[in-house]
């Protein structure tokens, strides 16, 4: 939940107002669209191997996400960019 709030706040701050709806829609599509793909991948992997191995793979991939966040320029962002004035 905390990630979601921070992600949306940053996105709304750095995206120009004229394309904010498109950006939010695209991010929603990508986020929700990855759920069934991940489910199919996890189910296929569990079928080919076993459930504990699949859970270990999921844990390892989740751990690798830490490095993606740590290497992101957002991790070095200490202040939010200025918000444009207007609607």
3-state class of 17 per DSSP? helix
In three-state secondary structure terms, 65 is helix
Tens of pLDDT along the chain (87 residues) come to 677 888 888 888 888 889 999 999 999 999 899 999 999 999 999 999 999 999 999 999 999 988 888 888 877 777 766 666 655
Distances (CA, A) of 28 to 11, 35, 43, 72, 80: 12, 11, 23, 20, 22
Predicted local confidence at residue 86, as pLDDT: 57
Q: What is the pTM of this model?
A: 0.66
pLDDT at position 25: 94
pLDDT value at residue 85: 62
Q: Which residue has the tokens 């844990």?
A: 59
């Amino acid at each position: 939940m905390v990630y979601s709030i921070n992600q949306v706040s940053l996105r709304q701050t750095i995206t120009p107002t004229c394309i904010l709806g498109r950006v939010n829609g695209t991010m929603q599509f990508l986020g929700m669209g990855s759920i069934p793909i991940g489910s199919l991948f996890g189910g296929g992997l569990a079928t080919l191997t076993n459930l504990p191995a699949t859970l270990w793979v999921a844990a390892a991939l989740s751990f690798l996400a830490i490095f993606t966040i740590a290497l992101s320029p957002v991790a070095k962002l200490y202040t939010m960019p200025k918000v444009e004035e207007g609607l």
